[in-house]
Amino acid sequence: MFDIHPATPDDAGEIFTLQRAAYVDEAQAYGDPFILPLTEGLSRIEGLLADESALVLKAVVGHRLVGAVRAGTTETTGVIGRLVVAPDLRRRGIARALLTRVEDELRERRPELTALTLFTGAQSAQNQRLYRALGYAETHRERVADHLVMVHMRKELEQVTVGSA
């Protein structure tokens, strides 16, 4: 079993290592060792974790960091990114739990959000299945390189209204 907690600046090195391990198969699938998650430096992750407004969650098993996700917001949209799970622990519900929890945290922090967005590679069928199962729908595709097409997905959020008594 795993637990989910907010990530702290002390987690930067482990998140950096996990992110690299998690994206190796994506890089191989696309024939591109220079995809952004593999070229993002440790200092960028350290900076993100030092920013108190950033939302970064981690999944842990004992003392081992086994998953992570980050999110930010625009005026009315939550933007989710870098959902990663240790390759040896995939298909155990960690990604689903992280995604669900980050959605809940975004809504709690910013109740005015009307939608959540994320993107994944067009060849990442399992990722797309997970996102669709959680209510995301494809909005468009974007060719970012000859060999790389990103699938942008969006989940509309129901607005919670407080009734008067």
Looking at every residue in the chain, the average pLDDT score rounds to: 92
Domain for residue 165, yes or no? no
Domain for residue 161, yes or no? no
Tokens of 116: 């959540």
Q: Are 106 and 81 in contact (CB under 8 A)?
A: no
The residue range of the domain holding 148 is 3-156
Which alpha helices (DSSP H) does 31-156 contain, by range? 36-39, 42-50, 94-109, 125-133
pTM recorded for the entire structure? 0.91
Question: Three-state DSSP class for 7?
Answer: coil
Output the domain CATH number for residue 149. Answer: 3.40.630.30
pLDDT at residue 31 in the model: 82
- How many folded domains does the chain comprise? 1
What b-and-e string marks burial along 26-35, b requiring 16 or more CB atoms within 10 Å of the CB? bbeebeeeeb
Provide, rounded to the nearest whole percent, the portion of the chain with pLDDT above 90.
74
Eight-class DSSP state of 53: T
Domain for residue 50, yes or no? yes
**Given a cut of 70, is residue 164 above it in pLDDT?**
no
Domain for residue 86, yes or no? yes
Taking the C-alpha atoms of residue 26 and residue 123, their distance in angstroms, rounded to an integer, is 9
pLDDT at residue 4 in the model: 98
Q: Are 145 and 122 in contact (CB under 8 A)?
A: no
Tokens of 6: 């907010």
Compute the radius of gyration of the chain from its Cα atoms. Answer: 16
